[in-house]
Chains A and B, each alone.
Chain A
């Protein structure tokens, strides 16, 4: 066999390698297991606190909103700190082009969630808010799914399923649905990322 000749298959293999690297180059990989885990922990603690203090969306809407706005801000801060720490460890800029793409992709979901929350609060139907938050968060993740690893796309679908359950089956138990979704799904993803990051070895 003449090895001086580059065959059709070898050329195809090289082009496939280029495609595969191009795909990897657009992926955002700085979401850490610790960040996702902490976000899940915030979800669990907020649900527990809401349940203990009886902060239901129908009976104490203000308390319910304050609780989850606080939880959102805490989760975003912790997630950002964990991401920034990973970027610094890797000696890379924290505000990278890829982080900007992911943030811009998620932004519309957060805006619509905010608007719907105001609308629900005004109409006195805040019990619909948890389901709507889950649906919009899931859609947001799926919207930027092509920039993230496959498990995030699964997480997006998980939130959509949780949203359906929260809206049609668990509307009377908002703390339980928030515990399972924003707590449980994030904790599960955090554990999975921990396993994935720990078992990865450089060639």
Chain B
């Protein structure tokens, strides 16, 4: 029974967020708010290519909105979480907490 519940919960875990690097990016954006590409890259210790790849996935699912501007004649790209992205993240964390509480209960029953 517990395993079945775990399985159904896993299937509803959002695969866009569940990937380790994307989870870190999402958490950072939720915590800090609008963040520059370079800050994300430095703080999460990612390469340009790697970060670009993950941001494209977020953009495709409309979890982040991108803003491009010129500051001191240099291009600056910033990302901010959308309402859809925030909801998805909250659901993801809530599911993780439910799995943890389920695991605790199963262990207590054993």
Tell me the A residues contacting B by CB distance below 8 Å.
2, 4-8, 11-12, 14-15, 17-18, 21-22, 24-26, 29, 88, 90-92, 97, 202-203
Q: A29 to B27, alpha carbons, bound, how many Å? A: 18
Chain A residues near B9: list those with CB within 8 A: 6
Interface residues of chain B, those whose CB is within 8 Å of chain A, are 3, 6-7, 9-11, 13, 18, 20, 23-24, 27-28, 31-33, 36-39, 41-47, 50, 71-72, 74-76, 93, 96-97, 99-100, 102-104, 106-107
- Report whether B31 and A7 are in contact in the complex, using a CB–CB cutoff of 8 Å: no
Query: Is A21 within 8 A of B100, CB to CB?
Result: no
Q: Known contacts A90-B42, A91-B36, A202-B47; is A11 also within 8 Å of B93 by CB?
A: no
Which residues of chain B are near A8, meaning CB under 8 Å? 99-100, 102-104, 106-107
Please state if A202 and B45 are interface contacts (CB–CB under 8 Å): yes
Q: Are A24 and B43 in contact (CB under 8 A)?
A: yes
Q: Identify which of A4, A24, A88 contacts B10 (C-beta below 8 A).
A: A4
Q: Is B31 a contact of A25 with CB atoms below 8 Å? A: yes
Shortest Cβ distance from A54 into chain B, in angstroms? Answer: 47
Contact B31 A6 (CB under 8 A): no
Q: When the two chains form their complex, are residues B38 and A91 in contact, meaning their CB atoms are under 8 A apart?
A: yes
Query: Nearest-CB distance from A79 to chain B (Å)?
Result: 20
Interface residue from B31, B42, B74, B97 paired with A15 (Cβ < 8 Å): B97
Cβ B24 vs Cβ A21 within 8 A: yes
Closest to B89 in A: A18
Given A90-B38, A91-B36, A21 and B10 contact (CB-CB distance below 8 Å): no
**Contact A6 to B99, CB < 8 A, known contacts A26-B31, A91-B76, A202-B47:** yes
Residue in B27, B37, B96 whose CB lies within 8 Å of A21: B27
Q: How far is the CB of B44 from chain A (nearest CB, A)?
A: 7
Q: Which residues of chain A come closer than 8 Å to B39, judged between CB atoms? A: 90, 92
Q: Apart from A24-B44, A202-B41, A202-B47, what are 8 other A-B pairs with CB-CB below 8 Å? A: A5-B10, A8-B99, A17-B24, A29-B43, A91-B36, A91-B76, A97-B32, A202-B45
Partner of B23, one of A2, A5, A17: A17
24 inter-chain pairs at a CB distance below 8 angstroms, sorted by A residue, are A5-B3, A5-B6, A8-B103, A8-B104, A11-B99, A12-B100, A15-B97, A17-B27, A18-B27, A18-B93, A21-B24, A21-B28, A21-B44, A24-B43, A25-B28, A25-B43, A26-B31, A29-B42, A90-B39, A90-B42, A91-B38, A91-B76, A97-B32, A202-B46
Q: Which of chain B's residues has its CB closest to A14's CB?
A: B96
Are A7 and B6 closer than 8 Å at their CB atoms?
Answer: yes
Report how far A191 CA is from B106 CA in the complex, Å: 52
CA distance A128 to B61 in the complex (A): 62
B96 near A15: Cβ-Cβ < 8 Å? yes
Name B102's closest neighbour in chain A (CB-CB).
A8
Instruction: Find out whether the CB atom of B6 lies under 8 angstroms from the CB atom of A6.
Output: yes
Contacts of A203 in B (CB 8 A): 45-47, 50
